[in-house]
Amino acid sequence: MKRFHIALAVADLDASIDDYSRRLAQPPTAVVPGRYAMWRTDLLNFSINPMPDKAGTLRHIGFEDDAAEGYSSSKDVNGLEWELFSADEQDRRIVSTYGEAVRHDKG
């Protein structure tokens, strides 16, 4: 499966989790309290981090792709970072970067 990835900076993680859970009609797939939240829908991989001074800004975009090996990152002509990774690789990077996540995987 291939999902478009969007990473956004937010002012308040808990308030943003509530808001985006309503907008995406599901709870986050993974949450590291106070640090990170991520949703996987059928088409979208959406993550947020609290960065109050940058709230509402795009951190990076890219693709979660089951066919991807490892992780790669590049910048486009506008300086925007694009990432490419598998779901398993992202899960490993969440733990190594933010700590163990509370999982809310869809059954």
| Residue 105 pLDDT | 59
**Per-residue DSSP letters for 26-67?**
S--SEEETTTEEEEE-SSEEEEEEE-GGGTT-EEEEEEEETT
For residue range 60-102, list pLDDT tens digits in order. 999 999 999 999 999 999 999 999 999 888 888 888 888 887 7
Share of the chain above pLDDT 90, in %: 79
For residue range 21-54, list pLDDT tens digits in order. 999 999 999 999 999 999 999 999 999 999 999 9
Domain that holds residue 38: 2-103
Q: Is 43 left (phi over 0), alpha (psi -120 to 50) or beta?
A: alpha
Q: In this structure, what CATH number is given to the domain that contains residue 30? A: 3.10.180.10
How many structural domains comprise the chain? 1
Q: How far is it, in rounded angstroms, from Cα 98 to Cα 17?
A: 16
